[in-house]
Structure 1
Amino acid sequence: MGFLLENCTFSLLNEEILKNANQFDCGHHDLNDFFQNDVLDYSSQLLGKSYCFLLDEDPKTIVCAFSISNDSIKVNFLPNSRKKNVNKQIPRVKQFRSYPAVLIGRLGVNILFKKRGIGKELMDFIKSWFIDPGNKTGCRFIVVDAYDEDDPLKYYQSNGFKFLFGDEAQERQYTGVSNDRPVKTRLMYYDLIELLAK
């Protein structure tokens, strides 16, 4: 058992929790702004749902939070080499133009709880959630548009995520980011079938 399951309560991140919670700070301005100011609008517009783990000994403390929504990987829009990577573990008769996925829109761990393995625990929780037999929808992949910064990229790579595109130039070409604008995020994916094989 890990810290989250032993010491925290899992909850939908709703208006009541936000009203009563201590300010959530995960050390990243954009993420903090989303969880403090945008999360309720995001939910009310049916764009996604956000969840959190609250500290049992102080339920005003949000240990970590994340948002998810429906997505897909559209392989027919990928370069051939990348299409092969995505299709690699899918039987030929089951290969389609797109595959169901869940998008992690935002994910953050409170800076008071960094360096305790909570980020890994949280990702393991999310992965297991979508292979659970009680899951109400088919979901083959988890995808994320990770900030193109060392820490987020290392985090997702250490949790088994792969880059959807081979490099930034290829990502630029296939996502329509012009050469005069920086690539701020990198598309990454995780194949949930890997968990079922263990």
Structure 2
Amino acid sequence: MNENINTAELAYSVRRLDKLEIVKEFDCGDADLNDFILNESPLYRKELLAVSYVAENQEKGIIGYFSLANDRVSLSDFENKTAFNRFRRHRFVNEKRLKSYPAVKICRLGIDLSAKGFRVGSELLYFIKSYFRHCPRFCVNRKLEDSSFILESCFQI
């Protein structure tokens, strides 16, 4: 997945990190997110837990990243069985109604402080959605649910 993205003020490309690639410099203002991309992402990739992608600008270097993993949406994710049935009734025919459905999990999303205000986070969310257009179910890490811009994006979380 190599994709060029041009916003009004900032051009960058999105690519998957190589298996043993180490990111040397990144600061989004959140110690946990920084630690993940700087130290832990190769370990997650090696163990097939999550794959990380970076947004890279020619002048600024890595300006953002996100990590994706396989997940599922199941009955236990809903308040009650009625809510789960409502979820699947509008998306699946009777023959395809299961107890769980595959989903893409957005594990982490970080934008470098140098790129704040350029809508890189929103653009990356739209990129993820368009890349997985045939899998309309997304899950997010609890910490990401607190981000207001995710609620403003095109996702149904």
TM-score range normalised by the length of the shorter chain: 0.7 to 0.9
Q: Could you tell me how far apart the structure 1 residues matched to 2:27 and 2:115 are?
A: 10
Aligned residues: 149
What is residue 69 of structure 1 aligned with on the other side? 69
Does the 8 Å contact 2:106/2:138 carry over to 1?
Answer: yes
Which consecutive residues of structure 1, in runs of 5 or more, have no partner in the other structure?
Answer: 132-137, 163-188, 190-198
Kindly report the root-mean-square deviation, in angstroms, between the aligned alpha carbons of the 2 structures: 2.5
Q: Deviations over 1:145-188 (max 9, x none)?
A: 231785x1x122111445xxxxxxxxxxxxxxxxxxxxxxxxxx
2:22 and 2:38 in contact (8 A); partners too: no
Unaligned runs of 5+ in 2: none
Match of 1:159 in 2: 153
Question: Measured at CA, do residues 80 and 27 of structure 1 come closer, stay the same or move farther in structure 2, by a change above 3 Å?
Answer: same
TM-score by length of 1: 0.66
One-letter identity of the residue aligned with 1:80: K
* Aligned position for 2:139: 143
Matched, 1:103 2:105: yes
Question: Which residue in the other structure is 1:11 paired with?
Answer: 15
The percent identity for this pair of structures is: 32
Contact 1:39 1:50 in 2 (8 A): yes
Matched residue SS, 1:90 = coil
The structure whose Rg is larger is: 1
- TM-score with structure 2 length normalisation? 0.81
Q: CA deviation at 1:7?
A: 1.8
3-state DSSP of counterpart to 1:119: helix
Which residue matches 2:41?
Answer: 39
